[in-house]
């Protein structure tokens, strides 16, 4: 698995044209960084392969402006909605009721669809959007003849819970009647995210397993401003967005406090959603340990992943893709609440020999994190074989596979979709 590929480098900017194909990517973004980072990777891959097209990402992410996008990619920021640890939602910033916020988001999405008029729409994970906010836009897109694609990560949740959620939201009906394609960003041999749903014949024919989304070193390279630890072999510790990663970080710091013989130092990246109080407490403990350094938020985490010798992380989809892409020995401590997604992914990857997994006993509420258990895992981690030695074929073919799958709609410099006069403005 080569990691020397550079992201966002391509030919000179394509001439602008109002007649070139257009892609809209929807990402509800209620928690963490996973959805926007996945959509960003897809958008950048599309404009690299089809530089004449335009891509708009509709996102609720509060940190979307921190990320680099290729020429031809822009975004529409809808009001943020925050997912709580118990799985419930609330407005992130606005002093509105949730229903009012959803209504506002729905109107913005609908107007964006009407004005931008995409030829291809990729919906990330939620078939009808958050609380059905995407339904009016999907109706317009269906009437206009756009190609509508549902993009799914490799694991959604345990089958029973997914069935309950999708049946209640109307997602099952949309899967059957609205979507032209279902793209799974993973391999069927690794996991089948829709295996527990009924009436498989309604969508199995339009489901494609494309492979995981390979990540690249961002470009242009920034000045060398990283902590001193990065100038030598080090362990990168990342909890993703950080909103639910305090337990992993606490466990790692405790291991270094309990066992000063751990060979490699560690750089801990908190993530933008970790609470100020937790970050302050961790920073004080890190400052007292010569083998630890901390960093707040790094939107180009790929740079650090590429430099690191090995990685300790939670089991989110995007971090998993980065571990595979940069071929790093990894120890994954998966989250088990409010979804089992990370645990399912991590244990399946461990079965395939891609990573090592360490269960967090405190997540069940009655266990205690033993610092020496983590210390033993950190001693063993640098000796672990990288994921490439598991020899899983076509593991990271996701991005080129997406481009191949959409080439019929995007390769021409002129839009080929013919709009009927009666639906052109509706």
Of the candidates 139, 90, 100, 123, the residue with the CA atom closest to the CA atom of residue 23: 123
pLDDT of residue 10: 52
Same structural domain, 254 and 207: no
CA 317, CA 310: separation in Å to the nearest integer?
A: 17
Q: Which domain holds residue 299?
A: 228-390
Preceding omega of 185 cis (within 30 degrees of 0): no
The gap from C-alpha 207 to its chain's centroid, in whole angstroms, comes to 20
pLDDT of residue 219: 67
> Is residue 16 situated within a structural domain?
no
Same structural domain, 232 and 148: no
Q: Cα(first)–Cα(last) distance of the chain, in Å? A: 47
Same structural domain, 405 and 374: no
Same structural domain, 191 and 302: no
Q: 20: how many CB neighbours lie within 10 A of its CB?
A: 20
Structure tokens at 19: 């007649």
Q: 343: how many CB neighbours lie within 10 A of its CB?
A: 22
CA 179, CA 208: separation in Å to the nearest integer?
A: 13
Phi/psi of residue 419, each to 5°?
A: -95, 130
Structure tokens at 52: 């004449």
Q: What is the dihedral of CA 299, 301, 302, 305, to 10 degrees?
A: 180
CA atoms within 13 A on the CB side of 12: 1
Same structural domain, 186 and 76: yes
> Is residue 114 situated within a structural domain?
yes
CATH number where 346 lies: 3.40.50.2000
pLDDT of residue 398: 97
> Is residue 15 situated within a structural domain?
no
Structure tokens at 119: 């030829």
Token pair 């527990």 is at which residue?
Answer: 196
Structurally, the chain folds into a number of domains equal to: 2
> Is residue 134 situated within a structural domain?
yes
Same structural domain, 326 and 264: yes
> Is residue 108 situated within a structural domain?
yes
Same structural domain, 238 and 193: no
pLDDT of residue 12: 60
pLDDT tens, residue order, the chain (426 aa): 444 445 554 556 667 788 899 999 999 876 667 788 899 999 999 999 999 999 999 998 887 877 778 899 999 999 988 876 666 777 878 889 989 999 999 999 999 999 999 999 999 999 999 999 999 999 999 999 999 999 999 999 999 899 999 999 999 999 999 999 999 999 999 999 999 899 888 889 999 999 999 998 876 555 557 788 999 999 999 987 767 789 999 999 999 999 999 999 999 999 777 888 999 999 999 999 999 999 887 777 888 999 999 999 999 999 999 999 999 999 999 988 878 999 999 999 999 999 999 999 998 777 899 999 999 999 999 999 999 999 999 999 999 999 999 999 999 998 877 554 444 555
CB-count exposure of residue 410 (10 Å: 0-12, 13-18, 19+): buried
Structure tokens at 369: 């994190």
> Is residue 419 situated within a structural domain?
no
Q: Model pTM?
A: 0.90
> Is residue 1 situated within a structural domain?
no
pLDDT of residue 66: 75
Same structural domain, 161 and 72: yes
Token pair 């970790």 is at which residue?
Answer: 274
Same structural domain, 169 and 244: no
Same structural domain, 42 and 172: yes
- Angle at CA 362, nearest 5°, toward 309 and 193? 70
Same structural domain, 117 and 235: no
Same structural domain, 114 and 39: yes
> Is residue 13 situated within a structural domain?
no
């Amino acid at each position: 698995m080569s990691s020397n590929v550079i992201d966002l480098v391509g030919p000179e900017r394509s001439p602008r044209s109002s007649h070139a194909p257009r892609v809209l990517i929807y990402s509800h973004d209620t928690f963490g960084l996973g959805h926007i980072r996945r959509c960003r990777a897809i958008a950048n891959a599309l404009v690299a392969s089809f530089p004449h097209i335009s891509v708009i990402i509709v996102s609720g992410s509060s940190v979307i402006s921190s990320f680099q996008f290729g020429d031809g990619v822009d975004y529409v920021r809808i009001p943020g909605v925050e997912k709580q640890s118990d799985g419930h939602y609330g407005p992130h910033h606005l002093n509105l009721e949730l229903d009012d916020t959803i209504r506002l988001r729905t109107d913005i999405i609908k107007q964006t669809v009407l004005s931008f008029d995409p030829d291809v729409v990729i919906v990330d994970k939620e078939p009808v959007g958050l609380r059905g906010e995407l339904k009016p836009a999907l109706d317009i897109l269906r009437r206009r003849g756009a190609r509508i694609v549902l993009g799914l990560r490799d694991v959604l949740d345990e089958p029973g819970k997914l069935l309950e959620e999708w049946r209640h939201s109307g997602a099952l009906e949309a899967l059957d009647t609205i979507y032209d394609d279902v793209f799974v960003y993973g391999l069927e041999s690794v996991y089948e995210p829709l295996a527990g749903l009924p009436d498989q014949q309604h969508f199995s024919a339009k489901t494609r397993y494309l492979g995981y989304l390979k990540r690249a070193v961002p470009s242009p390279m920034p000045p060398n401003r990283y902590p001193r630890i990065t100038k030598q072999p080090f362990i990168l510790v990342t909890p993703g967005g950080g909103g639910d990663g305090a337990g992993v970080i606490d466990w790692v710091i405790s291991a270094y406090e309990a066992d000063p013989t751990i060979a490699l130092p560690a750089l801990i990246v908190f993530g933008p959603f970790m609470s100020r109080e937790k970050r302050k407490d961790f920073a004080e403990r890190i400052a007292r340990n010569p083998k630890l350094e901390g960093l707040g938020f790094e939107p180009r985490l790929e740079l650090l992943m590429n430099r690191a010798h090995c990685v300790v992380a939670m089991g989110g989809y995007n971090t998993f893709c980065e571990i595979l892409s940069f071929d790093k020995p990894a120890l994954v401590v998966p989250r088990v609440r409010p979804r089992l997604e990370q645990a399912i992914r991590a244990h399946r990857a461990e079965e395939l020999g891609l990573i090592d997994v360490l269960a967090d006993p405190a997540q069940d509420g009655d266990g205690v994190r033993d610092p020496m258990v983590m210390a033993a895992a950190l001693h063993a981690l640098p000796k672990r074989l990288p994921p490439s030695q598991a020899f899983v074929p076509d593991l990271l073919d996701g991005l080129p596979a997406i481009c191949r799958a959409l080439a019929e709609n995007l390769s021409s410099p002129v839009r080929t979709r013919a709009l009927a006069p009666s639906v052109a403005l509706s």
